[in-house]
Amino acid sequence: MSDMSFEQVITLSDTLSLLEKVRLVEHVMNSLKNDIEPKQPRKLLRGLWSDTNITAEEIDEARKEMWSSTQD
């Protein structure tokens, strides 16, 4: 089957019934989806900064600096 040309596959697909063509398209689309999707799972953004140790005081200081520069 791997020796078939694209044209031969098209000719063969023309002989299929409507239902078989739909099933063929579904199969090809699933195959494409598997080929296109990244193989590694995506990293979730939740917990992205969980390993940082920012204290409440540092946040307050950053806010003071931010607001003081906008009031000038």
Per the structure, the count of domains in the chain is 1
* Angle at 41 (CA atoms; ends 37, 47), nearest 5 degrees: 140
In a domain, 21, yes or no: yes
Measured distance CA(36)–CA(5) in Å, rounded = 23
Q: Is the pLDDT of residue 1 over 60?
A: no
What are 3-44's pLDDT values in tens digits?
889 999 999 999 999 999 999 999 999 999 888 877 777 777
State the residue range of the domain holding 25.
6-36
In a domain, 13, yes or no: yes
CA dist list (Å): 66 to 22, 41, 54, 55: 60, 37, 17, 17
In a domain, 68, yes or no: no
In a domain, 20, yes or no: yes
Q: Is the pLDDT of residue 69 over 80?
A: no
In a domain, 22, yes or no: yes
In a domain, 19, yes or no: yes
Position 37 scores a pLDDT of: 78
Position 71 scores a pLDDT of: 63
